[in-house]
C-alpha cells in the first residue's frame, strides 16, 4: 500500500511539474529547451516561446475581429452579435474611464480598452483542457511542454505592467509637461527643498509598488488557478469530476473577468 502511494505521488508530482513548465528557447544558440527537468540550468537569455506565441496570436485574432466590427458598423442597420459584444465592452470601459478621470479621455480609453480585452482573452485560454495542446504537439512535432495561459507567466504580466506604466508616464508628460512632472517628482509629497531626497525615495517606492501590484496580482491569481485545477484532478476521482465542471467553468470566467477589470481600473487610477 505504501509503495502504491509513493508511486501515485511520484506520478502526480511529475504530471503537475510537467504542466508548469514552459517551452523555452535559448537566445544564444536559438535552440528549443524542450522537456526541461531542471530549470536552474537555464541561462538568462531565454524566452518562453509558448507565452510569446499565445499572446501575439490572441492579439492578432482580436485585432482581426475588431477590424471586422469596425467594417460592419457602418453598413449593418441591425447590429449583429459581434457588434453588440464590442459595443458593450466599449461602453463599459468608457464609463469606467469617465467615472475615474472625470471626463472622456481617448488616450487612457485606448490603453484601458487594450489591456482589458487582451488580458481577458489570455485569461480565458485557461478554459481549454490542459492536456489537449501538449498531447497534440507531442504527437505531431515532439514538443512536450507548452502552456496556453500566458497570464500565468510572470514575464508576460511584468511586461504588461511595465508597458502600461510607461504609457501612463508618457501620457502625463504630454498632459502636464515635462517640467511639471519633474517638479511633482521632486516636491511631492513634501513641498520643501530639504526633503527632495526623501521625496525621490518615496516616489521610487511608489512606482515599484504600482509595478508589483499590477504584475504580481494578475500572475498570482492565474498561476494559482492552474495549480488548483491540476490538484483537483487528482483529489477528486475521475467519475466525480463531472460534478465540478460547470461550477469551475463559471468561477474561472468570473475570475478571468475580475482580474482583467482590476488591472484596467488600476491603470486608469495610476493615470490620474
User: Is the per-residue pLDDT at 40 higher than 60?
Assistant: no
Are the C-beta atoms of 199 and 190 separated by less than 8 Å?
yes
Best CA proximity match to 211, nearest among 153, 140, 151, 263: 263
Instruction: Report pTM.
Output: 0.85
The reported pLDDT for the residue numbered 76 is 64
Confidence of residue 2 (pLDDT cuts 50, 70, 90): very low
Which residues participate in catalysis according to the annotation?
Answer: 213, 217, 221
The reported pLDDT for the residue numbered 253 is 87
CA dist 223 and 15 (Å) reads 16
CA dist 51 and 146 (Å) reads 9
pLDDT tens digits along 144-192: 778 888 898 899 999 999 999 999 999 988 888 888 888 888 887 788 7
Q: Give phi and psi for 46, each to the nearest 5.
A: -135, 160
Q: Where are the alpha helices (DSSP H) in 81-131?
A: 81-101, 106-124
Q: Which residues contact 221 (CB under 8 A, 6 or more apart)?
A: 255, 259
CA dist 60 and 55 (Å) reads 9
Confidence of residue 5 (pLDDT cuts 50, 70, 90): very low
Confidence of residue 262 (pLDDT cuts 50, 70, 90): very high
pLDDT tens digits along 68-89: 777 776 666 676 777 778 888 8
User: Is the per-residue pLDDT at 8 higher than 50?
Assistant: no
CB atoms within 10 A of CB 91: 10
b/e map 216-241, b = 16+ CB within 10 Å: ebbbebbbebbeebbeebeeeeeeee
Q: Give phi and psi for 25, each to the nearest 5.
A: -120, 135
Burial class (CB in 10 A: 0-12, 13-18, 19+), 93: buried
Confidence of residue 230 (pLDDT cuts 50, 70, 90): confident
Q: What percent of the chain has pLDDT over 90?
A: 26
Amino acid at each position: 500500500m505504501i509503495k502504491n502511494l509513493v508511486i501515485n505521488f511520484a506520478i502526480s508530482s511529475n504530471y503537475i511539474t510537467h504542466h508548469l513548465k514552459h517551452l523555452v528557447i535559448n537566445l544564444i544558440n536559438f535552440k528549443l529547451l524542450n522537456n526541461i527537468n531542471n530549470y536552474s540550468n537555464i541561462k538568462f537569455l531565454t524566452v518562453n516561446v509558448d507565452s510569446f506565441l499565445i499572446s501575439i496570436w490572441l492579439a492578432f485574432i482580436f485585432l482581426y475581429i475588431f477590424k471586422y466590427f469596425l467594417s460592419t458598423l457602418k453598413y449593418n442597420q441591425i447590429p449583429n452579435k459581434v457588434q453588440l459584444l464590442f459595443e458593450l465592452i466599449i461602453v463599459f470601459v468608457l464609463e469606467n474611464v469617465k467615472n475615474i478621470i472625470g471626463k472622456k479621455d481617448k488616450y487612457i480609453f485606448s490603453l484601458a480598452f487594450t489591456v482589458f480585452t487582451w488580458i481577458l482573452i489570455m485569461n480565458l485560454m485557461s478554459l481549454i483542457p490542459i492536456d489537449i495542446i501538449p498531447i497534440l504537439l507531442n504527437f505531431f512535432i515532439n514538443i512536450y511542454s507548452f502552456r496556453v495561459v500566458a497570464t500565468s507567466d510572470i514575464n508576460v504580466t511584468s511586461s504588461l505592467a511595465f508597458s502600461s506604466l510607461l504609457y501612463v508616464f508618457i501620457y502625463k508628460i504630454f498632459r502636464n509637461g515635462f517640467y511639471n512632472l519633474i517638479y511633482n517628482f521632486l516636491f511631492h509629497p513634501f513641498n520643501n527643498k530639504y526633503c527632495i531626497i526623501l521625496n525621490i525615495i518615496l516616489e521610487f517606492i511608489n512606482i515599484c509598488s504600482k509595478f508589483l501590484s499590477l504584475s504580481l496580482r494578475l500572475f498570482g491569481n492565474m498561476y494559482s488557478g492552474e495549480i488548483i485545477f491540476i490538484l483537483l484532478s487528482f483529489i477528486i476521482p475521475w467519475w466525480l469530476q463531472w460534478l465540478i465542471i460547470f461550477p469551475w467553468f463559471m468561477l474561472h470566467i468570473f475570475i478571468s473577468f475580475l482580474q482583467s477589470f482590476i488591472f484596467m481600473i488600476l491603470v486608469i487610477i495610476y493615470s490620474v
